[in-house]
A and B are shown apart, each in its own frame.
Chain A
């Protein structure tokens, strides 16, 4: 209703959601567009479930209400399902085919959901599953999975892919620019195939 394009990036503390948010922010600056965001900091980051709200062309608050996100980008299958109610009807989830079981599963002897069950739960909206680990490793480092995911998501994000790529180059550590640029391009290709 405010005309913003709303992206929710979710994952597990330490997977690089904050860098992904910063890259989107930088790309917006490159294009001279407003952006608002909100993210998890502090103790909640210690291996916990984390979320980063991003509102491209956002003018008001940083939070996306449930049922309003245009795009859900998830670094983990379980987290994608946990936050899937944030997607609007007709929205899209771009999800890494990665499943880190929470320690609670082992300590409390829970029966964890399977990959197939989680993927089935995500199917009511647009869904793009990305083999981020494999693609990042091919690009040169498994640490570039967040940039692979951003590359895949760039198929839906209303920013020019050149702006995003330039933002990636500006924000990743100097030594890893080449790997991350490749990770972005390979992620973008993978996003296009779905």
Chain B
């Protein structure tokens, strides 16, 4: 009883302490430089009332969803293919190992040159951020399938199509989900970066735009929204995994 209460209470306490320290520290600087939580809350309200916040959230979420789904649609089938073809995997592996450490942000100048200012560079950067974790975890999930699963399928005479759909995909599924979860995080982090650099809308742009007007309260309000939305996406993802795990016989 006490343990469960403290489990719920402690995080709230830490949060309250954080806000209190913030409020205290903000007293030492002028509000234009370091706004207090109260000022940021007011700014948040201002942005919400004017509708700016909502339209930017909508745009950011749409970009995020589009780029993330595109990464999944390309990376999962490619990962399944590479996982099943050792030759192709060996051929492509060095290339992936060279491209992967390049931060998606580093692609930004080229992305703007190629796609112009607007949706495309931001979407491209989010796509890259999600692509590698999904690809690599899909490949390792397929490679890690216990050989006995495939031996059994071969022994019963299952056709290649059935082996793929009924053995390889479900066996690799928990591993693929791990990649999808990691990718949600990295993609969301890069969303803001992508929008700060090349877009004319979205939460990242909102933060850059606020800087141009020296509205530190709007900057912090924007950061707060990014953080809370990221948390919500993560929680949603975990819910989804739990639900899948139950359907999957507890192996996910």
Are the chains A and B members of one assembly?
no
